[in-house]
């Protein structure tokens, strides 16, 4: 079972990997975006990490809804409302249970991904974070490791796509040949699930 | 009409200068003496290009006179942030609406319409109609 501590670890290890990868995310965002994805997400996840550290919420749902709310208010770019909606909706779907199992997390995350698709109007193949998140959620039923691999594959697979959403969509063919920064950061978020399990007590997965 | 209370207008742009200028333009074209509350929410809190949920929430609160608030945005994160705030439920005043309209033309139509004492639905309709105005 996964408790609030697991979800706090998930957010904390994600904040650490966003810190570590911020420059790479911004570099990916410079040819096809406005070159702020890394710094924007870094600001948001640092705010999440600090808030969770100061006042840790008691349930998995509360951890994710608070994290989502903070991302919406601190990121400053489109990734704020998109990641914020993902985590908030996932958190709401988890309800106020003290512990949830992997299957409940997978279902809740699917609800979160659906909400992001609705908010941004994006579908798989549009060269967005959805291209990492949808395969990750599909694989989450097997294991966190399978979800991580699926998200990373999904992110890499955005490279030959032509962007149909966001600023990159204005570039048309020129968006082809660049890995999508949003799909790349989404893969970091999903990878955090594995790290949060490995850091935690044995048998939590 | 809504008891003499005017609809408030919030203008959300990636640029503080654009938001402030469009607010000024719309109020100028609405005519002298108009009391329509208009608030720009442009750029981030640190003055960069981008969108600030905090600035949007503060602007909406500042123009709320009880007759509703119409929010007009430019693109990308401005649209998504307002939608996400509306989904939160308690971040924006009651009867706040994201209006589907072109930013400059919609702002002028919204402010002029609001200055007549029109309700939120009428302000929204006027701003959205700006899409129908073909330039060529």
Q: pLDDT digits over A121-157, tens only? A: 999 999 999 999 999 999 999 999 999 999 999 999 9
- The whole-angstrom separation of Cα A38 and Cα A20 is 10
Domain ranges of chain A: 2-198
CA atoms within 13 A on the CB side of B32: 0
B3, with CB counted inside 10 A (0-12, 13-18, 19+), is exposed
Of B48, B50, B84, the CB nearest to A85: B84
* B15 falls within a domain: yes
**What is the structure's pLDDT at A204?**
41
Question: Are A72 and B52 within 8 A, CB to CB?
Answer: no
Helices A60-74, A79-94: axis angle to 10 degrees equals 160
CATH number for the domain running over A2-198 = 1.25.40.340
Task: Compute the CA torsion angle A35, A39, A42, A47 (nearest 10 deg).
Answer: -130
Q: Which residue of B has its CA nearest to A75?
A: B52
Does A203 score more than 70 pLDDT?
no
Number of domains in chain B: 1
Of B48, B76, B81, the CB nearest to A166: B76
Q: pLDDT digits over A48-74, tens only? A: 999 999 999 999 999 999 999 999 999
**For the domain that residue B66 is a member of, what is the CATH number?**
3.40.50.510
Q: Which residue of B has its CA nearest to A166?
A: B76
Q: What is the ipTM of this complex?
A: 0.88
Of A36, A74, A119, the CB nearest to B83: A119
Task: Compute the CA torsion angle A41, A47, A48, A52 (nearest 10 deg).
Answer: 160
Give the global pTM.
0.92
* B1 falls within a domain: no
Residue B88, chain A, CB below 8 Å: the answer is: yes
**What is the structure's pLDDT at A200?**
56
User: Are B42 and B14 within 8 A, CB to CB?
Assistant: yes
Domain span at residue B25 reads 8-132
Maximal CA-CA distance, chain A: 48
Tokens linked to B45: 């809190």
Question: Are B81 and A40 within 8 A, CB to CB?
Answer: no
* B77 falls within a domain: yes
Does B2 score more than 60 pLDDT?
no
- Give me the mean pLDDT over the B72-81 stretch: 96
Q: pLDDT digits over A87-122, tens only? A: 999 999 999 999 999 999 999 999 999 999 999 999
Optimal mutation site among A41, A78, A91, A115, interface B, most CBs of chain B within 10 A:
A78
* B91 falls within a domain: yes
CA atoms within 13 A on the CB side of A62: 14
């Amino acid at each position: 079972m996964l408790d609030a501590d697991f979800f706090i670890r998930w957010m904390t290890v994600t904040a650490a990997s966003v810190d570590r990868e911020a420059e790479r995310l911004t570099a990916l965002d410079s040819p096809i975006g406005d070159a702020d994805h890394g710094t924007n997400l870094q600001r948001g996840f640092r705010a999440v990490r600090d808030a969770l550290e100061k006042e840790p919420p008691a349930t998995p749902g509360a951890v994710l809804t608070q994290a989502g709310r903070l991302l919406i208010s601190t990121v400053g770019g489109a990734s704020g409302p998109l990641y914020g909606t993902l985590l908030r909706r996932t958190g709401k779907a988890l309800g106020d249970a003290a512990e949830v199992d992997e299957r409940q997390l997978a279902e809740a995350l699917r609800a979160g991904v659906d909400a992001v698709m609705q908010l941004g109007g994006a579908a798989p193949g549009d060269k967005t974070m959805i291209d990492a998140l949808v395969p990750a959620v599909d694989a989450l039923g097997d294991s966190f490791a399978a979800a991580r691999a699926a998200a990373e594959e999904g992110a890499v697979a955005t490279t030959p796509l032509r962007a149909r959403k966001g600023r990159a969509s204005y570039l048309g063919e020129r968006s082809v040949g660049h890995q999508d920064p949003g799909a790349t950061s989404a893969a970091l978020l999903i990878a955090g699930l594995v790290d949060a399990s490995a850091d935690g007590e044995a048998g939590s997965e | 009409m809504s008891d003499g209370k005017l609809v408030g207008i919030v203008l959300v742009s990636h640029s503080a200068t654009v938001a402030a200028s469009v607010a000024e333009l719309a109020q100028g074209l609405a005519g002298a003496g108009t009391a329509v509350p208009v608030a720009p929410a442009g750029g981030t809190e640190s003055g960069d290009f981008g969108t600030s949920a905090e600035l949007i929430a503060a602007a909406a609160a500042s123009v709320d006179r009880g007759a509703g608030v119409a929010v007009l945005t430019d693109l990308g994160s401005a649209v998504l942030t307002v939608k996400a705030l509306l989904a939160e439920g308690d971040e924006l005043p009651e009867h706040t609406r994201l209006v589907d309209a072109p930013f400059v033309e919609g702002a002028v139509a919204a402010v002029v319409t609001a200055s007549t004492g029109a309700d939120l639905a009428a302000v929204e309709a006027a701003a959205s109609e700006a899409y129908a105005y073909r330039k060529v």
